[in-house]
Amino acid sequence: MAQQQARHRIGILGAGNIFGRYVEGLRTVPELEVVRVADVDPARARAAAAEHAVPAWGDGEELLADDSVGIVVNITPPQFHAKTVIAALEAGKHVYVEKPLAATVAEAREVLDAAGRGTALLGSAPDTFLGSAVQTARHAIDTRRIGEPVGATAFVRSSRSETWHPDPRAFYGPGGGPVLDMGPYYLAALVNCLGPVAQVSAATRVGAPVRRVTSPGRVLDEVTVEVPTHASATLTFASGVIGTTLMSFDVWDTELPRIEIYGTEGTLALPNPNFFDGDVRLKRHGDADWEVLTPVTALFGAVDTPEQHRRGLGVADLAGAVDGEPHRANAQFAFHTLEVLESFETSQRENRFVALRSSCDRPAPRPTL
């Protein structure tokens, strides 16, 4: 019981658009306490601390020097992930970083090397595969409700970031695009359910090269695209399952599913993996109708409400690992998903199948209800 009541003190690096979502989500976990916020702009950190009742604020150096902070949650833009994660690890902090683990696989290897030199743990988003939806799908696969998995499809639709984000340049610059922005949620769900990927073949392109920004409070009127915005790939999993993916910021209207997994005895349909919860549907061969499966783990937030936008389950996963529990959203898992996604552009550029150099363990399932 004492271990369950232990509190982990959290410092959040970055006071940007998703800061409030993390604070809200972390406050649902009694063992976690947000005690500091840091930002390159101390005024923004101060405003975020005041808005969300966080007791301390300042810059990144002050955060790393704060001995009361045990876990750093890094929500800086992707191009800063490698440098800031390494600095936090070298300061002896456990680190949970937003996706992707780093802007490139080469930088991510440097991050893994830094983690290997110390004793601090490193976790990374996406963590939505820890939610009830993907865990329920995983349970259905493990209990052979669809028989032997054969294939899967995953379709990323445009997030339309230029219509709601005041400065969407990060979505269209290095470390962004549909593959690295939304793709990690889909790949994490697939790897959790089906295991690691062995081979990738892909084609990518840029759709509209300039995007008009229409969001309220926008800080610029248009964005120049620097990364591919439409990608299609075939993934061959080490298990033999074949996945077909479409990841695009150019698909605004569609009737395609989010994720489907096909087995020898049935099909699973999964909801948007950017959220933790939602209906998982099963239709076995010969069934007249789809069955909505009962969630096997507790919901992180009420479905179809703003609660689904909050974040933090992966931080709780990291805190549990510090206390000796399984670490599911771990760095090797995040590295493998990043290498798979970066391989899309390698396959396009070099016109070849790409064999993955990395692998990872299929994460342990969360305990069921």
DSSP 279-346: --EEEETT-SS-EEPPPSS--SS-TTSGGGG---HHHHHHHHHHTTS---SBHHHHHHHHHHHHHHHH
pLDDT 10s per residue in the chain (369 long)?
334 445 899 999 999 889 999 999 999 999 999 999 999 999 999 999 999 999 999 999 999 999 999 999 999 988 899 999 999 999 999 999 999 999 899 999 999 999 999 999 999 999 999 999 999 999 999 999 999 999 999 999 988 999 999 999 989 988 789 999 999 999 999 999 999 999 999 999 999 999 999 999 999 999 999 999 999 999 999 999 999 999 999 999 999 999 999 999 999 999 999 999 999 999 999 999 999 999 999 999 999 999 999 999 999 999 999 999 999 999 999 999 999 999 999 999 999 999 999 999 999 999 999
Rounded to an integer, what distance in angstroms lies between the CA atom of residue 273 and that of residue 127?
A: 10
Rounded to an integer, what distance in angstroms lies between the CA atom of residue 355 and that of residue 358?
A: 9
Nearest residue to 152 via CA among 254, 273, 313? 273
Q: Which helix (H) or strand (E) holds 64?
A: helix 60-65
Q: Which helix (H) or strand (E) holds 333?
A: helix 331-350
Strands 281-284 and 291-292: antiparallel
